[in-house]
Amino acid sequence: MSGEKPLEAGFSAEGYIIDQDCFSSLRYRGMRASVNGCGWMAAYNLRRFLDQDADWDAVRRELEALHRVTRFPGPTTLRAMRLYLGRHLPEVRETRGRRAAVRAAAAASAGIFRYREGREPHYVSFLREGEGVYRFFNVTDGLEDCRMSMEAFAAGHLRGAVWVFTVPEAAP
Report the CATH number that the domain containing residue 149 is assigned in CATH.
3.90.70.10
How do beta strands 110-117 and 120-130 pair? antiparallel
Residue 32 lies in a domain: yes
Cα distances (angstroms) measured from residue 3 to each of 7, 41, 84, 122:
12, 22, 33, 24
The number of folded domains in the chain is: 1
Question: 3-class DSSP state for residue 131?
Answer: coil
Q: Which residues pair with 114 in a beta bridge?
A: 123, 163
pLDDT of residue 172: 45
What's the rounded Cα separation, in Å, for the pair 110 and 169? 8
Full residue range of the structural domain in which residue 110 is found? 7-167
Average pLDDT of the residues in 57-76: 87
What's the rounded Cα separation, in Å, for the pair 121 and 112? 13
Average pLDDT of the residues in 70-82: 86
The pLDDT tens digits of the residues spanning 101-149 come to 999 999 999 999 999 998 899 999 999 998 999 999 999 999 999 999 9
Q: Which residues pair with 19 in a beta bridge?
A: none
Residue 172 lies in a domain: no
Say whether pLDDT at 171 is over 70.
no
Residue 152 lies in a domain: yes
What's the rounded Cα separation, in Å, for the pair 43 and 124? 9
